[in-house]
Amino acid sequence: MFARVYSGALAGVDAYRVEVEVDCCGGIGQINIVGLPGAAVKESQERVRSAIKSCDFLLPPAKKWVVNLAPADTRKEGPLYDMPIAAGLLASVGYIPAGHLAKIWMVGELSLNGAVRPVSGVLSMTICARESGAEGIIVPEDNGAEAALVDGIKVYPVSHLQEAINILVRPESGKVFYGTTKHRYKTMASNVVSDLDFGDVKGQGKAKTAMTMAAAGRHNMIMIGPPGSGKSMLAERLPGIMPPLEYEEAVELTKLYSVAKEVDKKNGLVVSRPFRAPHHSASIHGLVGGGSVPRPGEISLSHYGILFMDEFTEFPRTHIDSLRQPLETNRVTISRSMQTLTFPASFVLIAACNPCPCGFKNDTVQSCICTSGQAMRYWSKVSGPILDRIDMRVEVRRLAQNEILIQPAPHDRTKWMKEKVFAAIARQRERNIFDGKFIYNANLKHRQIEKVCQLTADVKSKLVSAAHQYAFSVRAYDRVIRMARTVADLNGNENIELDDLAQALSFRTLNFGF
């Protein structure tokens, strides 16, 4: 007897339909799995046998089963096919009626006693199931909150194979799970409050101004200063002045984190902006993504959030140069012999490093002991194309003795900075709408810049003069205009004034000797 069960497979962060076809014929009790199965899929036959036995079902001993995972030209990885294979085997011998198999998808790993374990990528597969016309999907209980984010499809979380069988026999007996709704998400997002305050950072007014620009316009920045000057503290507090995630952004992020197996089982939804801080010893696959089964790296996991690269110059040059494409296109493309995958990567890069190997170049207290050759080798890892893509260069100096004792002013605290950032973003939302989509200042294209960043003759003359003096590339020229537009938004100016441009240039043209 022939049976067909529907499931899904991942291609990057998206999913496609997989048909689990099972044919029962005469033989000696073998289960053969074809259709480019990975090692975990091949091993599923032993898990499935024991799980079926735990449900008090007896597979006929004088039968052979051929399981085909279609389409057969794409590789299937992971244990998520355990449950659909088990359902297909039972349907092929008449234990489960075939009527409901075409309407309900299944994903889940089985233990030997029939318990259902969670798998990755369930949100993407639920979306694919809905788009394919499925009425429902059976998922592991721990993945229920994640799958329930998708409207228009019934989600049946189960903890044991027997529960899944009961649903396939009588779908009306299954309990449909309703998770986080869009209305409930707004409450959850509004309750996300950071306990880190910019007031904890003494002094560094210039750096805090740069932080408001980074948050308001999504501009990249690099902070350079001696050890202990507050670079990491500043970066860690940046998410606290950024607006909450929109519901659609949260769902997109959850898809990424589900593929990476980092979703919160309780809420099933990412509710706060990511702050990823990979160590400089991270592998290239860990940073950019990839592997034999391509998975998103730190760059993609910082989507809609912050990628903080501390000790920037300690990263290998290949790692740093791998940021070129994502900083320009907001996505990462990973090519393999059999497939090419694209992961989203719209993040704000915050880099931090010392000015030299010893860390005390231009320091007011401690003398630098580095030779010029050591300093050149230290900065050789950071190429010109990367620096060209970083909007702001910020010097974070050692605090003077009197600055350590001064209490922070109100405008140096997170609450005031957040209000200013939110007001600037509100101005952008009224102006930067293209094809019905909002775009932050830092992501404006050249033609969009010409439309929303009108320059007076004086401002244009000053910019052209600065571009000639500092040898700006065309990319740098556009980036300065974007920064000036963000400064104008923060200052409440409808048009870019000379002071706005001057402040933007002060961050772009700061020279640290590299």
Beta strands 104-106 and 14-26: pairing type?
unpaired
Helix-strand-coil percent breakdown of the chain, rounded to 5? 45, 20, 40
Nearest-10 crossing angle of helices 182-190, 247-259: 90
- At a CB cut-off of 8 Å and minimum separation 6, what does 478 contact? 446, 449
User: What pLDDT sits at residue 188?
Assistant: 78
Would you place residue 168 in the very low, low, confident or very high pLDDT band (cuts 50, 70, 90)? very high
- Between 23-37, 121-135, 464-478, the lowest mean confidence (pLDDT) is in 23-37
- C-alpha span between 10 and 261 (Å, rounded): 13
The better pLDDT of the pair 199, 17 is held by 17
78-86: average pLDDT: 95
User: What pLDDT sits at residue 59?
Assistant: 84
Q: For residue 60, give both structure tokens.
A: 């006929």
Digit-coded pLDDT (tens) for 254-293? 999 999 888 877 677 888 999 999 999 999 999 998 877 7
**Taking Cα atoms as reference points, which of 263, 276, 303, 274 lies closest to residue 124?**
263
Contact, 382 vs 312, CB < 8 A?
Answer: yes
Inform me whether the pLDDT recorded for 138 exceeds 50.
Answer: yes
Digit-coded pLDDT (tens) for 429-459? 999 999 989 999 999 998 999 889 989 999 9
User: What pLDDT sits at residue 407?
Assistant: 73
Domains of the chain: 2-173 (3.30.230.10), 190-430 (3.40.50.300)
User: What pLDDT sits at residue 186?
Assistant: 76
- C-alpha span between 164 and 302 (Å, rounded): 36
294-315: average pLDDT: 94
Contact, 353 vs 224, CB < 8 A?
Answer: yes
Inform me whether the pLDDT recorded for 512 exceeds 70.
Answer: no
Beta strands 331-335 and 136-140: pairing type?
unpaired
CA 247 from chain centre, in angstroms, equals 15
User: What percentage of the chain reaches a pLDDT higher than 70?
Assistant: 98
331-356: average pLDDT: 89
Digit-coded pLDDT (tens) for 363-421? 888 888 998 888 888 888 899 899 999 999 999 988 877 777 677 777 778 899 999 99
Q: 């051929």: which residue's tokens? A: 66
97-122: average pLDDT: 93
- C-alpha span between 41 and 10 (Å, rounded): 14
Digit-coded pLDDT (tens) for 200-232? 888 888 999 999 999 999 999 999 999 988 899
- Between 5-9, 396-400, 423-427, 428-432, the lowest mean confidence (pLDDT) is in 396-400
Inform me whether the pLDDT recorded for 513 exceeds 60.
Answer: no
349-375: average pLDDT: 89
Looking at every residue in the chain, the average pLDDT score rounds to 90
- C-alpha span between 426 and 294 (Å, rounded): 38
User: What pLDDT sits at residue 420?
Assistant: 94
Would you place residue 111 in the very low, low, confident or very high pLDDT band (cuts 50, 70, 90)? very high
The better pLDDT of the pair 174, 445 is held by 445
- C-alpha span between 442 and 231 (Å, rounded): 22
Would you place residue 511 in the very low, low, confident or very high pLDDT band (cuts 50, 70, 90)? low
- At a CB cut-off of 8 Å and minimum separation 6, what does 110 contact? 44, 47, 48, 51, 79, 82, 83, 86, 116, 117, 161
Q: For residue 503, give both structure tokens.
A: 């402040």
- C-alpha span between 215 and 258 (Å, rounded): 26
Would you place residue 362 in the very low, low, confident or very high pLDDT band (cuts 50, 70, 90)? confident
- C-alpha span between 140 and 352 (Å, rounded): 42
Inform me whether the pLDDT recorded for 514 exceeds 50.
Answer: no
3-state secondary structure 404-443: HHCCCCHHHCHHHHHHHHHHHHHHHHHHCEECCEECCHHH
